[in-house]
Amino acid sequence: MSKRVVVLMGGFSAERDVSLASGAAVAAALELAGYAIATIDVRRDLQTLIGGLEMAQPAVVFNALHGRFGEDGRIQSVLDMMKIPYTHSGVLASALAMDKPAAKRVFAAAGIPVAEGRVVPKAEVLAGDVLPRPYVLKPLNEGSSVGVHIVREGDNWSGFGEEEWPFGDQVLAERFIPGREITVAVMGDRALGATEITSERGFYDYTAKYMPGGSHHLVPAPLPPQAYDDALILALKAHQALGCRGVSRADLRYDDTDLDQPGRFVMLEVNTQPGMTPTSLVPELAAFAGLSFADLVTWMVENAKCDA
């Protein structure tokens, strides 16, 4: 009898559409690999979710949810209570990674370089500049660059209006790091490789990530050999510092803009629930490492765990 896997997808975060695409791709690949597949489009209804899981009786849940409530430890705690093994990280690592200020403190304690910054009240941002320009404003706990805004030299920008910031009363302000966008996939105890991401939009925002032609992926990242190795080491170190398991993706900036200085990396964040369509960054890097999409998602299912 084939192992039954339930794929959780959709959800009710700002990344719902991305999650639906990830979940559909994962379900199709696992079904072709011989698993018995069911899918649940997760709504804000815990009783229905638990009922659906109890009815399906899965051996494993593949968590294809993205964003808040899907990758911040909350759905993981439900699965732990139900004693159902699931893919990706557990409660604590998921919560830490999703909370950007908390993750930065963990990275800094582990010796991983991070951008200078501080958490400021939204009212302070509305009143004017909170850091010397250029700087970046981010929600504390959103993914996929949702809500990220770069304040540049010469911009006429003078603060967002109330309706433009539905992300709570606090904002993470960070010094803007120039240079190149690098992402590294980690699978278990090894880094699979690094990609450089370029975009004609000038910033790898939500549109650049998910609209056709919005970005270009250079695999492997065209970095100096030592810098490439350093990127992999930092990503694995961040994965371990947070206590991640399964698959994660680390996003870094590589500042090589000063020709008189060696390039340097800054860790931006670790995504514990990276996109999982065949053309997403992690599957693309898995393919570079010799793993098909089916190989990747099968490994994730076979290494699923819970903290029951």
Q: CA-CA distances (angstroms) from residue 191 to 197, 232, 235, 263, 267?
A: 17, 6, 7, 21, 15
CATH number at 105 reads 3.30.470.20
Domain count, the chain: 3
The pLDDT value given to residue 161: 61
Q: Are 169 and 183 contained in the same domain?
A: no
Q: Is 256 considered catalytic here?
A: no
Share of the chain above pLDDT 90, in %: 77
Please give the residue range of the domain that contains residue 170: 117-175
Q: Is 159 considered catalytic here?
A: no
Q: Is 275 considered catalytic here?
A: yes
Q: What whole-number distance in Å separates Cα of residue 184 and Cα of residue 248?
A: 8
Say yes or no to pLDDT of 213 above 60. no
Say yes or no to pLDDT of 14 above 60. yes
Q: What whole-number distance in Å separates Cα of residue 193 and Cα of residue 17?
A: 27
Say yes or no to pLDDT of 209 above 50. no
Q: Are 108 and 253 contained in the same domain?
A: yes
Q: Is 73 considered catalytic here?
A: no
Q: Are 160 and 197 contained in the same domain?
A: no
- What are the start-end ranges of the H helices in the chain? 16-32, 46-56, 74-81, 91-98, 100-109, 122-127, 206-210, 225-242, 281-288, 293-302
Q: Are 24 and 58 contained in the same domain?
A: yes
Q: What whole-number distance in Å separates Cα of residue 285 and Cα of residue 109?
A: 28
Q: Are 14 and 83 contained in the same domain?
A: yes
Q: Is 156 considered catalytic here?
A: no
Does the residue 234 lie in any domain? Answer: yes
Q: What whole-number distance in Å separates Cα of residue 108 and Cα of residue 115?
A: 10
Q: Which two tokens stand for residue 270?
A: 């670790």
Q: Are 228 and 142 contained in the same domain?
A: no
Does the residue 300 lie in any domain? Answer: no
Q: Which two tokens stand for residue 47?
A: 């009783």
What is the number of other CB atoms lying within 10 angstroms of the CB of residue 201? 12
Does the residue 293 lie in any domain? Answer: no
The pLDDT value given to residue 91: 98
Q: Is the pTM of this model over 0.85?
A: yes
Q: Is 15 considered catalytic here?
A: yes
Q: Which two tokens stand for residue 82?
A: 């139900």
Q: Are 74 and 104 contained in the same domain?
A: no
pLDDT single digits (tens) 218-261: 999 999 999 999 999 999 999 999 999 999 999 999 999 988 88
Q: β-pairing, 4-10 with 60-63?
A: parallel
3-state secondary structure of 136: strand
Q: Say which of 210, 228, 245, 284 is annotated catalytic.
A: 210
The pLDDT value given to residue 206: 45
Q: Say which of 181, 196, 230, 269 is annotated catalytic.
A: 269
Q: Which two tokens stand for residue 114?
A: 């991070």
Q: Are 135 and 235 contained in the same domain?
A: no
Q: Is 124 considered catalytic here?
A: no
- The arithmetic mean of pLDDT across residues 73-93, rounded, is 97
- Per-residue pLDDT band for 159 (boundaries 50, 70, 90) equals low
Q: What whole-number distance in Å separates Cα of residue 171 and Cα of residue 65?
A: 24
Q: Out of 175, 192, 215, pick the residue that ends a domain.
A: 175
Q: What is the largest CA-CA distance in the chain?
A: 64
Compute the Cα dihedral for 6, 10, 14, 18 and give only its sign. positive
Does the residue 57 lie in any domain? Answer: yes
Q: Are 169 and 186 contained in the same domain?
A: no
Q: Are 107 and 193 contained in the same domain?
A: yes
